[in-house]
Structure 1
Amino acid sequence: MWYLYLAVLAAGVANAIQPGQNGTLARNLSQPLTAGLVVGIGTLITVLVAGLVTGRLAWPSAVEAARVPWWAWFGGVLGGGIVVAQLLIARQIGAGAFLGLLVTAGVATSILLDHFGWAGFDVHPASRWRLLGGALMVAGVGLVALF
């Protein structure tokens, strides 16, 4: 199970590097949002290759598709919004502030999602320790953004 944590750490490193890569791509193309299409194609290829290599890729049946809540189909839209923010905002505010705000918003939202069991998550109550951890992240991001 430890390897799952390593995979998430690697994704976190990639999450810190990606805004710089995407911003550089956007700056060097005639239209910055064209970079978003390049990123989307890269994402498509990555998911396709991973699915083919692992054998975990199949088009859903009509029954499977009908079982999925309507809101679950829009995760790609949220991911696209993150990429657009990377392309248009990250460079101006800097990597530390951008990632800090992104992670802090993610942690605060995740505490709510876990507490109420929203968006398909199991319920994990917002204990005082979880809330304290979220508050410390907000304070840390404030320090990174100010200095």
Structure 2
Amino acid sequence: MMIGLWLALLAGSLVGLQNIFNSRVHERAGSWPTTALVLGLGFLASFLIGLAVEGKRLFHLEHMELWFWFSGIVGVGVVACMVNAMKQLGPTYTISIVMCSQLFFALIWDSFGWMGLEVVPFTLKQLGGVLVIVSGILLFKFGGLRKNRSDLMRRERA
């Protein structure tokens, strides 16, 4: 379990780092070149690492459901949406909203057992946890609003 926790923490830090890199590329190249570059380099890196680690087993893809192959297409949407949201909202707010969305949809998919997942019964405790996180993001985004407005009004009077 500890390895899983460490891997999840590492994944979160890498997603944050990747989104900052993607945002910088997007500023200079635009959305679709950024998406092509990110996914193209990701393909190349995973292909080469897969060859080194798995060897010929990398190409053994029996018993794969057809719809599993569409994950890469979903990745195009993820990268394109993230780089454009980061441009509009900034990294912290974007990643916070994405995290809430991931939790909400994971809760739905688990609760209904969609996409072959084992059904995990929905509880109010789970909903409460998601709502606490969403509340935290709203507090983060709008909590300093009153202070910022009063500082601005004070400067205008001076």
TM range (shorter): 0.7 to 0.9
Residue 60 of structure 1, CA deviation: 2.3
CA RMSD of aligned residues (A): 1.8
State the Cα distance separating 1:135 from its structure 2 match: 0.9
8 Å Cα contact 2:26/2:34 also seen in 1: yes
Whether 1:57 aligns to 2:58 is yes
Between the aligned residues of both structures, percent identity stands at 23
Instruction: Tell which has more relative contact order, 1 or 2 (C-alpha 8 A, sep 6+).
Output: 1
Among candidates 82, 88, 110, match of residue 92 of structure 1 = 88
The one-letter code matched in structure 2 to 1:58 is F
Contact 1:100 1:144 in 2 (8 A): no
Whole-Å Cα distance in 2 between the matches of residues 23 and 112 of structure 1?
30
- Counterpart-to-counterpart distance in 1, 2:92 and 2:77: 19
- Structure 2: gaps (5+ residues): 145-158
- What is the TM-score of this pair, normalised by structure 1? 0.85
Tell me the secondary structure at the aligned position of residue 59 of structure 2: coil
Within 2, Cα distance between the matches of 1:144 and 1:91? 19
**Superposed CA offset, 1:37-94 (max 9, x none):** 1101121023213322331522424xx24xx1x4332221221111001222212201
The alpha-carbon distance between structure 1 residues 145 and 77, as it changes in their structure 2 partners (threshold 3 A), is: farther
Query: 1:48 aligns to what?
Result: 47
Name which one, 1 or 2, has greater alpha-carbon Rg. 2
8 A Cα contact 2:31 2:80, kept in partner:
no
Structure 1 ranges of 4+ moved more than 6 A:
none
> CA–CA distance in 1 between the matches of 2:5 and 2:53?
19
Contact 2:111 2:120 in 1 (8 A): yes
| Range with bigger deviation, 49-58 or 18-27 | 49-58
Relative to structure 1, the CA distance from residue 46 to residue 8 in structure 2 (aligned partners, 3 Å threshold; closer, same or farther) is farther
Q: Is the 1:114–1:123 contact (alpha carbons within 8 Å) kept by the matching residues of 2? A: yes
Deviations 1:93-141 (A, max 9, x none): 0112100110000000000111111122111111221111111111112
User: SS at the partner of 2:58?
Assistant: coil
